[in-house]
Structure 1
Amino acid sequence: MKKHLLLLMLLSYQFNTFAQEDAWVYLKDKQNISASIANPISILTQKAIDRKNAHHVVIDAKDVPVNENYITQLKGATGISVMAKSKWFNAVHVRGSKTDIDNLSTTFSFIDYVDFANKSLNTLKSVQQKNKSKLEKSFTTFTYGNAANQIEMFNGNELHLAGYTGAGMTVAIIDAGFPNVNTMSSFQRLRHAGNILDDYDFVNRDSDVYTNTTSNHGTLVLSTMAGYVENEYVGTAPDASYYLFVTEDALSENPVEESYWVEAVERADSLGVDVINTSLGYTTYDNPNYSYTTANMDGNTAFITKGANIAFEKGMLLVNSAGNSGNSSWGIVGAPADAAGVFSIGAVQANGTYASFSSKGNSTQPTQKPDVVAQGQASYVITENDIIATANGTSFSSPIIAGGIVCLWQALSNKTNIEIMQLVRESASQYHSPDFMLGYGIPNLQTALSSALNTTNDHDDENQILKLLPNPTKGLIRFNFPLDQSELSVTIFNVLGKKILETIITKDNNQVDISSFSNGVHIARIQSKNISKTIKLIKY
């Protein structure tokens, strides 16, 4: 997680830094929206298009890049530095004096409004913010060595044994630096397979994530998923493909890092990434005027949180560390893990009990936080010196379970991000009695896989197939029973995994009215003595 260096900062440095303000400049329009959507290959890779089509994710105006002419004009403005951009928000992160930033709105007609990171500087006009978003197998045997416990805890090793090791899945690791990943023997297997697809440092605006770095954090995180030492260490998704992105500036705490992160996630989406792991969190800043309060961790306030919810809507599965504030006055899950669309991961010890540093959820957050937990105390990692060691933090429980989820999604490629998240929740040790320390508990990914496969192994005879019709629906749904069934239990969850209906249906009373439900995707779980089926249900 983040490192605070306030004790090392000089007062004069603080004064000069705080004289420069950070703000998001939101733009009114984009160029060629209709033409770009009609020809999506002009703005997205084919892999991204295929992933969106497979999961019924709409390509829309958010996918169209920011108008580069506008960015050029902002770069030329007096006293202004352009730090980052976001196509999803149609916004640019700028830095400059308050006066120079204020002057932008009167100088450029294409600016919609300005939102200062220091909210006390916003005028009534600028805070009238608009909601820009609506959000044949080979069998593999590994010797895990010291890393055995952390994957066996959630039966990820059973997925590997069945041949699901992440092959064909694309992951983005968004973190701090990745020193020596390009030379370490522990990543030779990954490099030899060509599975480091690309890298980029959004902080320094270059492609050197291996040497131009002040942090080894990304290397440690990547090792838990992709590290490999014969007979000594295996990561949880050793055959996945990876993008390595740096968005964390380890030398300072500033909200521009949120903007770097959103920019990186947008790039990940355009590249067709399936799963993102982020072992970072944002709560307080060097300039206290920029800091959030615990009340702001409500799933929709922080810029990075709002970006995460859009990424979820785009079909990616975001896994994020819950935070290491369990023993501090802050206490709770931070941004972006507070987002409803983020799968937040707490930490347990090797024996499965709560690790006291792991950030907790609370009743003000919109969904159950954390979602699940994995080993984060005395987790085995590989350092930048190619040495297997232990480290503590939700920074490691997050990628450890993220790798398992990558393998599960490889096995269940027809499932959406929503469905995969729900399967993992339902497999967890305390799904029926979650709490704010362990969330739904420790998952069992073998159970999740078996449950999903059982729901798809229906008889070929049309009369034996359980159906839910119509789907999509405006309200009334009916169930077509298999001949050998007389009663079914139906549970419906919303997109966030919250149970919103539970009922029993029979052949004589086989209809359910969901007209009062909100429009969008829901999940219907249908069960009987010998049937368990999960169906994606769309209400419009």
Structure 2
Amino acid sequence: MKKLLVLGALLFQYMSFAQEEHAWVYLTDKENVATSIANPISILTQNAIDRKAAHNIPIDERDVPVNESYISQLKAQNGIAVMAKSKWFNAVYVIGLEVDINALENLDFVDHIDFADRSLNAESRVAMSNDKFEIEESLVDFNYGSAQNQVEMIGVDHLHISDYTGEGIVIAVLDAGFPNVDTMGAFQRLRDNGDLLGGYDFVERSDEVFEFDGSEHGTRVLSDMAGHIQDEFVGTAPDASYYLFRTEDPTSEMPVEESYWVEAAERADSLGVHIINSSLGYRVYDNENYSYAPSDMNGHTAFITKGANIANEKGILVVNSSGNSGDDSWQIVGAPADASGVLSVGAVDFEGNYAPFSSQGNATQPTLKPDVVARGAAAAVVNSSNTIVNSNGTSFSAPIMAGGIASLWQALPNASHEEIKEFVRMSASQFNSPDFFLGYGIPDLQLALNIALSITEEEFVRFKVFPNPVTNMLNIQIPTSTEATTLKIYNMLGKLVLEKDIIQSQTRLDMASMTSGIYIMSFKSNKGSKLFKLIKS
């Protein structure tokens, strides 16, 4: 009996320590890279190739798929389950015992391994409490026709009057489930117009995205862009085209969902998508060893954040909810909204006042966050029962803005995604005095269109500031056709620290006495405006 007790104790101890771990396995190379790049139609759709060509986005090694032979060999290894793959990172996401994952380094095609539990990578972790969707508790009262406020607040109603309703713009929605989108009346117009292009469930590896998976979050999010109920509800881009990608598992919170998200973004890129809307955020996980700390929300740590920045580099305009942590201990914008390439969207109420739950920016983040805001407090949405209700969360301010941007981009088909983002910021209510609560404020998308039409492409790109970061002398170049330009520099709290009139096309500014930190530079002239983020070393 004593021997049995000892054996049982040892077995329990083994089972306690031999838990499954999650990790990213980075691979050494890809197959037929040069041939694939020379013949891009073999790896991308024609729409993707055309979009990249239109905006001078290069096709490079990151567009080449992961070597399927390597994936097959990984699947054959003892105790290894392959959950996701990423061509951008040339990596796969695996689950297995720590010893089995570490054994993968013996394979000659494995470059290195990053465990989700970063303590296994000799790095420390700060554990935080669990969080799920970037969504607050829904309100129970119905509010028919209330989409008017959230549409008019950002000026997209004026674009609709001009027949800019998102036609020709393709949006990928990365979210949880999309139940009943294939049958609901609110999406009848979408289906009849052939604008529901398809989708994929990256969690279950299935084409079925319309079944209930424990959440209707994606359906509600989609409604704020694509929903249309005659005389009762209209989304901000009712005539855009949509792909629906499920990347969120509502039954748990694990870092594999970051890999699902990146994989979906890669799929979106290969399909020629213009805009990604994501109303998801990742900070903490069921296993606290995998959780991030607030200091990790620095624009370059989280896997999903790095993926979002690559999506931006590929010419996709990524819109993401900033998060709902403004009134809890976490407080700051989470991943992937912390990415410098992401347009992060915070929330306001029906009067345009800051919604206390909306996550705030932080001086340690690489760019001002949130970028802009839209209505997210008691926003009108359509649920999976085809009923108009109100819900709280930046989950809804993000699609309201993404749809509005689609309508704007339809009006400016030759603009790049970076130009579109800057026009949106320039039109916002706090453009001259941004802060960590509302960012640049509430955009006026009709004003954004007017700004864009008043600035020629040559004038727009000829505003230059260098070096950036700057230590001492800053060089400023403005268009020669500009008679006078006013330069204003604000700190990250929105305080004006310098104002100067510039009358020469080339100017040098002594920055040696300015305190180190992040600043916003605003140029205004008779020809238009331009905005820069300046880092003082």
Q: How many residues align?
A: 479
Q: CA deviation at 1:280?
A: 0.5
Report the Cα distance in structure 1 between the residues aligned to 2:175 and 2:18, rounded to whole angstroms. 25
Q: CA deviation at 1:354?
A: 1.0
1:253–1:285 Cα contact (<8 Å) kept: yes
Report the Cα distance in structure 2 between the residues aligned to 1:209 and 1:452, rounded to whole angstroms. 38
Q: 1:433 to 1:470 in 2, by over 3 A?
A: closer
1:23-42 to 2 correspondences below 5 Å: 23-42=23-42
Q: Which of these residues, 488, 505, 512, is aligned with residue 510 of structure 1?
A: 505
The percent of aligned pairs where both chains have the same amino acid is 57
| Aligned match of 1:133 | none
Q: 1:91 to 1:466 in 2, by over 3 A?
A: closer
Q: CA deviation at 1:488?
A: 4.6
* Structure 2 segments unaligned to the other structure (5+ residues): 1-11, 124-143, 468-473, 491-495, 512-519, 533-537
| Aligned match of 2:118 | 119
Letter in 2 for 1:68: E
- Could you say what secondary structure the match of 2:455 adopts? helix
- Could you say what secondary structure the match of 2:49 adopts? helix
Letter in 2 for 1:158: H
Letter in 2 for 1:112: D
Q: 1:17 to 1:232 in 2, by over 3 A?
A: farther
Q: 1:534 to 1:456 in 2, by over 3 A?
A: farther
Query: More deviation in 192-201 or 430-439?
Result: 430-439
Report the Cα distance in structure 1 between the residues aligned to 2:257 and 2:392, rounded to whole angstroms. 23
Deviations, residues 433-457 of structure 1 (Å, cap 9, x unaligned) = 1111111111111111111111249
Report the Cα distance in structure 2 between the residues aligned to 1:467 and 1:315, rounded to whole angstroms. 18
Report the Cα distance in structure 1 between the residues aligned to 2:274 and 2:241, rounded to whole angstroms. 10
Tell me, yes or no, if structure 1 residue 66 matches structure 2 residue 33: no
Report the Cα distance in structure 1 between the residues aligned to 2:531 and 2:246, rounded to whole angstroms. 38
- Could you say what secondary structure the match of 2:360 adopts? coil
Tell me, yes or no, if structure 1 residue 532 matches structure 2 residue 531: no
Tell me, yes or no, if structure 1 residue 194 matches structure 2 residue 190: no
2:215–2:250 Cα contact (<8 Å) kept: yes
Letter in 1 for 2:119: S
2:178–2:210 Cα contact (<8 Å) kept: yes
Q: 1:468 to 1:352 in 2, by over 3 A?
A: closer
| Aligned match of 2:369 | 369
1:224-303 to 2 correspondences below 5 Å: 224-303=224-303
Letter in 2 for 1:412: L
1:377-526 to 2 correspondences below 5 Å: 377-456=377-456, 481-482=480-481, 486-488=483-485, 506=503, 509-511=504-506
1:525–1:532 Cα contact (<8 Å) kept: no
Report the Cα distance in structure 1 between the residues aligned to 2:475 and 2:373, rounded to whole angstroms. 37
| Aligned match of 1:109 | 108
Q: CA deviation at 1:325?
A: 1.1
| Aligned match of 1:6 | none
TM-score of the aligned structures, taking structure 1 as reference length: 0.83
Deviations, residues 150-208 of structure 1 (Å, cap 9, x unaligned) = 01001110111111100000000000000000000110000000101111000000011
Report the Cα distance in structure 1 between the residues aligned to 2:16 and 2:274, rounded to whole angstroms. 41
- Could you say what secondary structure the match of 1:345 adopts? strand
2:380–2:388 Cα contact (<8 Å) kept: yes
1:469–1:477 Cα contact (<8 Å) kept: no
1:452–1:534 Cα contact (<8 Å) kept: no
* Structure 1 segments unaligned to the other structure (5+ residues): 1-11, 125-143, 458-464, 494-498, 517-522
Report the Cα distance in structure 2 between the residues aligned to 1:315 and 1:190, rounded to whole angstroms. 25
Report the Cα distance in structure 2 between the residues aligned to 1:526 and 1:84, rounded to whole angstroms. 45
Q: CA deviation at 1:487?
A: 3.9
1:186–1:229 Cα contact (<8 Å) kept: yes
Letter in 1 for 2:505: N
Q: 1:296 to 1:406 in 2, by over 3 A?
A: same
2:463–2:479 Cα contact (<8 Å) kept: no
1:86–1:92 Cα contact (<8 Å) kept: yes
| Aligned match of 2:315 | 315
1:348–1:377 Cα contact (<8 Å) kept: yes
Report the Cα distance in structure 2 between the residues aligned to 1:532 and 1:166, rounded to whole angstroms. 25
TM-score of the aligned structures, taking structure 2 as reference length: 0.83
- Could you say what secondary structure the match of 1:205 adopts? coil
Q: CA deviation at 1:315?
A: 0.6
Deviations, residues 287-344 of structure 1 (Å, cap 9, x unaligned) = 0000000010011000000101111111100000111111211111110001111111
1:319-338 to 2 correspondences below 5 Å: 319-338=319-338
- Could you say what secondary structure the match of 1:337 adopts? coil
- Could you say what secondary structure the match of 1:366 adopts? coil
Q: CA deviation at 1:20?
A: 1.1
